[in-house]
């Protein structure tokens, strides 16, 4: 009988790296992560109508998630962004 291969404890454990409502900033961030070979997922989430005031009227938010093991590397890569783009990101701390 063959044994099942063991997976790392961090397989399938994605964490949110950052959020933004600006489409241009999300594209620049994803381009930079691709350029530096950091694996990530990018999804757009709808913002409920009554919470849009706190997001300056935006109706969608871009959420960039990465694997837990890549978190520190991805944060270093994000520091390469221009300051105006970096300031528009909501960074999550784990």
**Mean pLDDT, range 48-70, rounded to an integer:** 92
pLDDT of residue 71: 92
- Apex CA 32: angle with CA 25 and CA 59, to 5°? 25
pLDDT of residue 72: 92
The CATH code of domain 14-91 reads 3.30.70
Do 29 and 16 meet the contact criterion of CB atoms below 8 Å apart?
Answer: no
Element (H, E) at 20: strand 14-20
pLDDT of residue 14: 85
pLDDT of residue 1: 64
Q: Which residue has the higher pLDDT, 41 or 94?
A: 41
Q: What span, in angstroms and rounded, lies between the C-alpha atoms of 29 and 24?
A: 9
Torsion of CA 54, 55, 60, 62, to 10 degrees: -120
pLDDT band at residue 22, thresholds of 50, 70 and 90?
very high
pLDDT, one tens digit per residue, over 36-57 is 999 999 999 999 999 999 988 9
pTM greater than 0.75: yes
């Amino acid at each position: 009988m063959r044994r099942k291969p063991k997976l790392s404890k961090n397989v399938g454990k994605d964490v949110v790296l950052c959020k933004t409502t600006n489409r241009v900033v999300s594209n620049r961030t994803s381009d930079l992560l691709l350029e530096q070979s950091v694996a990530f997922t990018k999804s757009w989430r709808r913002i409920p109508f009554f919470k849009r005031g706190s997001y300056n009227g935006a109706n969608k938010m871009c959420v960039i998630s990465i694997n837990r093991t890549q978190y520190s590397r991805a944060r270093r890569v994000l520091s390469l962004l221009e300051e105006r783009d970096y300031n528009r990101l909501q960074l999550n701390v784990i």
